[in-house]
Structure 1
Amino acid sequence: MDNQRQQANARQSQQTEYLDVLSAAQSLISVLTQTLNQSPVTPRPQVQVQGQGQQAVLPERQTNTTIDQDMARAFPSMFRRHAICGKKRINVASRTHTKNAKAFKPFDLNVYLLDKNSETTPSPAHELKLVQAGFGKRTISITMDITHSELSSILYEAFPKMEGLSGGWMLYKATGGSGTRRLNVIPPDSEGYTGSQIKSASASGKTMLYVVPLQEELDLNPLPNDAREFKKMPKATCQMCNKSMPLQVLALHIQVCKSSDSASSNEETEVQFVSESNLDEITQENFPSESVLPCPICQLKFPVDSLELHASLCGEQNLLESPDHSSFMRNDDFGIADDTTGNSSSPQVLCLDDLLELLAGRVNAENQFRICVSRDNLLERGLKQWQRQKKGNPANQLKITFIGEAGVDSGALRKEFLTEMISGIEKRLFLGQRAKSPQYSNSDLDNGLFRTAGEIFAVSLAQGGPAPCFMREWCYFYLTTGEVDVSRICKDDVDDVEYSLLITKVEEATDLTEFTDEIISCGYTGALNIEQKDAVIRAIVLHATFRVIPMLGDLRKGLQLYGLLDILKEHPSLCKSLFVPGQDCTPDADYILSNVAPEMSERGTSRASVESKIINYFQDFLQEIECGESAEDAAEVETEPSYLTVPRVMQWITGQGHKPLLISEQKAFQIVFKFDHDCKVRMPQHTICFPIVSACTNTVTFPVAHMTTYEDFKFIIVQAIKSGGAFSRV
């Protein structure tokens, strides 16, 4: 215990001594610091100056120094950090500046070299010759301080043909305007043309200056393709001779190349005619036996590489020559030579699909022809709005807007409008049952309705609408030729009710004198007796048909849209089915059901059975309409008897009431059926729902919860078709 106490006392005494030493050291440091920071006065010894018995005592110089000053004096390189002020901080060499000359900014100038002294600018035809000869327009870069000799050097470099120009040249400036303009001379200064003068005359390079030779006429012969004048010009290759040359030279070269090519083609060449008898010999001579196979259709031998192409053409030829197609493709019915040899100016047309695609390709899709019309009195309003459109052209893409509806035309509105217009024109401007002729109406002719109808026919064929296939053959013959073949007109071609009744009366009459006034008004000038009854009927028929010729003539003017009239002249047999009733393009129940693509639930479920029942209801509904049963009576609504038809149902779903004309559209055409099972879940309090139709996508959605029976289905569908034709949803 005593040892521990002694050790503790020793440690405590050591700590006390350490603290005392530390306190003393701190006190010493503070004293030294205060002493060093004071300003000590160093006495300076007095200097005595003796002279003439006097003693002068100089005053002592007192200095006030600090630690920083002492350290800077002892270590000048380390502690003298302040910049040297005064004259030493200025570099004497930097005071001397050399005055540079002012540099002018270059500017671009457009110059045009003429071949001879002229008072006017060159014509467009002459400009092409100048460019081919190495003259024409160039862009040079000059400055304001340029001299006449320097300007000449720049021009000689831009126009190498000026190097031999010894008769002098001057600059001219054209007057304002367009076309051929007058040239005014720019007089040079006393030292010639200078940069400042040129900049002022050209408005800083904005106006082109013309370099005109004064006494000489430069050579206008075209330069070779590799001339240095054409080094920067774009080049192209001639497709006939495969030579690359500048575009300016190519324009003249094409004419020469064509003439030489036509001359060479006119030379006599050995032609070998191929027939079935010598085809085998020619084939064996040109191709080895192992590379020749017989055609499966005509059994003639052809090279393996071309056998597939021949077989396809051979099959089409046999199809066209078959009895089923001969009546459609034969031109003898019209007495017109149908040009399908490819010699016509229009592209080669081999089938109806090619013809319709040719028309569709002539539609100007970049611009629009907008028609805004109401569904009320659609035909009359549509004809007026068509004629009143001044901002658009019928050759543009047709865009339809129905007033008060939210539908945006992406194709369905256009097809529905064209369908309604074609159907309305048929009833409004034509007379007859299945095949029709124009109605005689001077007021409609004066109002231009027949010409407008022709334009609508052309637009409908070119932009996916129905074909106007309701004309009589003699009317179509007049559209294609502009002439009337009286030998093809008979009494059945008279569609006017007045003249049809007159013909019937004449046929049944025993005395023709009671119809003298009517017969004479038809142009008959012969004797009125029973023996001349056929001549009288013939006169009535010709009068009834010839008086509608002006209407057909106005219709032909409208068909000039898209060049359709020229196509009718070149391919009358192909276009016949588009205007004359023949193959029925009206859809029936089987056609619609065969193109239905239902989106059904999983097979075997209760929903799938309900959806299958809805499809059966729809098929029964269409077949009832076809059979003439009134499906409207079930809905107890008063409508026109002809309102509810199968084409009308198809138009309600797709916007068009006709079968697609193009083969590509026929293959892609389908109607999508969708089924809504949850309408009562979304709206528990409602009592009825109607189908939702999207004509742009050919889709219809059935509310199956409200179509549990066939009677309910008919009631809802009839109401929807009758009252739901507007595009109210987007």
Structure 2
Amino acid sequence: MITELPSGGGGRRELSIIPTDSDGYSTRLLKSVSNNGKNMLFVVPLQEQLSIEPLPFDSVEFAKMPMSNCMKCGRKIPLPLLPVHIEKCKETETESVTDVTVHDDDENVSGATDQPSSPYTDLEQSAQICPICQITFPADVLPYHASMCGEGGRSFSDIESPSTSTKEELPGPLTAQSSTLLSAAWKNENDPQKASRMFCEELLCLSEHCPSLSLLFNQFDTVEEQDSSLISFYKMNSANWSAPFKCRLAGDAAVGKGVNRHILSMMMQKLKTGFALNLGSSTTAPFEGEKNHRVPSACAVLRDSNLFQMAGRMIGHSFLHGGPCLSGLSLPVIILLTGGDADSAASALTLQDCPDIDHRETISLLKKTELTEKEMTRLTDLCLFWDLPVPSSSNQDWLFQQLLSHAVLGRVKCQIKDLRKGIKDAGIWPLLSQRLDSHHIVFSRESVRDITSQVSKGYLYMESGLLLY
């Protein structure tokens, strides 16, 4: 029963009982009689002691709540009350195990041979094996797990084995398993070029019976539509990039490896020149800078669009299937990208690695013995903007290295991390981590005449029986 305190009365006011609706007290009724909460309400119990026993889980009050099955006892529990039930269920389980032990002793004394039935017999019988990760799950949990299995994120196996969570995992559904099945022949080969091809051939052979990755490329689409098709294809999270790769050109009779190489070479060229997409940025090229000194772009829009992980998958996928490599990367970027330390990368920096011409000219002023007032102001502004001390006669060499390191590597740490993650997705990380002499093969120097999508048309038409340059 709920009563309200009427206004007035000089301090001696009697409480008036609020009548109930047909369905009892409702929010609408309490708001109206209390003047939207301005008047004070009192709850008067109708008995000396209110019952504080929890309602059973099958009560009508819980009918509209989402329900979930308890993994221990199999009962349907309201989702908000599930944590409380789990604690009590653990206590009940401990008590039941103790009771069973005593019961076994009693039976042994009396000569009984029947074994007590396990409370988990039904759950064990309903357990099924996930066809992707080969881990056993309850039947009601398996559909939820299967919807996320192979996406490269945390799974139930990560939760069950915390000792492996500290290691940096190799994304991709088959990467970790395939790398353990590779032989040691490519590791013992002296020639790095031959070792790289042996690694790729073994990895492709392990996945030759997997479902193929098919890419339909329409030459009659606009450039924006073509680039969108490439980006959508390489943003797939659950793809096995070592599976057979088949490209087909709509409206063209060319088939085979020539088409694959044409698409891969065009893709590598777009990583340098940019994609024809409107992302709200002045540039859509993941890499910028001079030849042999290209670094990841510091554009936040490209980073937030997850284009660098996609670019890493493109690099690894092209190398794995015999396509052209991404040439012309800066040596410090290659060192960090392949797992090297920051000190080794910083020691390999040069002024040409700085893609911003204005920053490069400002940093180069530290090599001068005397600075004008205007040059000193320019240097001071850049140092303060990057939270570094102002230049002086005693810290010019140190400040030069710090400014150059921040301009080239400091602003693109997240981009390099995403690139490395994409390379791991493609499956070539074991080669890069165990064969350091393969780095110049995967990330080659930029020559005068690189293979582009136009040059690769020769391979394309030779494959189809037509020779055209």
What's the TM-score, normalizing by structure 1? 0.34
Give the share of equivalent positions with the same residue, in percent.
15
2:400 aligned with 1:537: yes
Deviation at 1:492, TM superposition (A): 2.9
Work out the CA distance in 2 between the residues paired with 1:347 and 1:537: 40
Structure 1 residue matching 2:384: 3-state secondary structure: helix
Q: Report the CA distance between 1:368 and its aligned residue.
A: 1.4
Residue of structure 2 in register with 1:469 after alignment: 327
CA displacement, residues 575-629 of structure 1 (integer Å, 9 cap, x when unaligned) = 3232141777847xxxxxxxxxxxxxxxxxxxxxxxxxxxxxxxxxxxxxxxxxx
Shift of residue 458 of structure 1? 1.0
Greater strand content: 1
> What residue is the counterpart of 1:502 in the other structure?
362
Query: Aligned residue for 1:405?
Result: 251
Give the structure 1 partner of residue 92 of structure 2: none
Q: Within 1, Cα distance between the matches of 2:223 and 2:443? A: 25
Question: Are 1:653 and 1:700, in contact at CA under 8 Å, matched by a contact in 2?
Answer: yes
Trace 1:585-664 onto structure 2 (pairs within 5 A): 586=450, 650-655=455-460
Instruction: Give the equivalent residue in structure 1 for 2:266.
Output: 420
| Counterpart-to-counterpart distance in 2, 1:177 and 1:390 | 37
- Structure with greater contact order relative to length (CA < 8 Å, sep ≥ 6): 2
1:441/1:360 CA distance change after superposition, 3 Å: farther
Matches within 5 A, 1:168-179: none
**1:399 deviation in Å?**
2.4
Where in structure 2 are there 5+ consecutive unaligned residues? Answer: 1-110, 127-181, 274-284
CA distance in 2: counterparts of 1:499 and 1:514, whole angstroms: 10
> Judging changes above 3 Å, is the alpha-carbon distance between structure 1 residues 386 and 649 closer, same or farther for their aligned structure 2 residues?
closer
Q: Which residue of 1 aligns with 2:299?
A: 441
- The Cα of 1:423 is off from its aligned counterpart by 1.0
Is 1:432 matched with 2:289?
Answer: yes
For 1:651 and 1:397, locate their aligned partners in 2 and report how far apart those are by CA, in whole Å. Answer: 20
* 1:360 aligned to which of 201, 206, 218: 201
Gapped regions of structure 1 (runs ≥ 5)? 1-166, 183-341, 588-646, 656-693, 702-720, 722-730
Structure 1 residues 288-318: Cα deviation after superposition (integer angstroms, max 9, x where no partner): xxxxxxxxxxxxxxxxxxxxxxxxxxxxxxx
Structure 2 residue aligned with 1:563, among 427, 442, 460? Answer: 427
RMSD over aligned Cα, in angstroms?
Answer: 3.9
Asked if structure 2 preserves the Cα contact closer than 8 Å seen for 1:468 and 1:578, the reply is yes
Q: Is the 8 A contact 2:313 2:423 kept in 1?
A: yes
1:459 is aligned to 2:459: no
Cα distance in 1 for residues equivalent to 2:248 and 2:445? 31
The alpha-carbon distance between structure 1 residues 175 and 411, as it changes in their structure 2 partners (threshold 3 A), is farther
C-alpha change, 1:395 and 1:412, in structure 2 (3 Å) is same
Indicate which of 442, 445, 458 corresponds to 1:578: 442
Contact 1:387/1:452, CA 8 A, preserved across alignment:
yes
- Distance 1:581-1:506 versus aligned 2 partners, 3 A rule: same
Q: 1:371 aligns with which of 202, 210, 215?
A: 215
CA 374–177 in structure 1, closer or farther in 2 if over 3 Å, else same: farther
Q: Secondary structure at the match of 1:467?
A: coil
CA apart distance, 1:534: 3.5
**What is the DSSP-based 3-state SS (H/G/I as helix, E as strand, rest coil) of the residue aligned with 1:456?**
helix
Instruction: Give the 3 Å change call, closer, same or farther, for CA 397–648 of structure 1 in structure 2.
Output: closer
In structure 2, what is the equivalent of residue 700 of structure 1? 467
Change beyond 3 A, Cα 1:510–1:430: same
Equivalent position of 2:338 in the other structure: 480
Q: Pick the structure with greater CA Rg.
A: 1
Moved >6 Å (runs of 4+): 167-170, 173-179, 342-346, 582-585
Change (3 A) 1:174 1:349: farther
Shift of 1:700: 1.6
Structure-2-length-normalised TM-score: 0.51
1:520 is displaced (CA, Å) by 1.6
Secondary structure, aligned partner of 1:365: coil
Kindly provide the CA deviation profile for residues 89-141 of structure 1, in whole angstroms up to 9, marking residues without a partner as x: xxxxxxxxxxxxxxxxxxxxxxxxxxxxxxxxxxxxxxxxxxxxxxxxxxxxx
> How far off is 1:358 after superposition?
1.5
Q: Which residue of 1 aligns with 2:99?
A: none
- Name the residue aligned to 1:554: 418
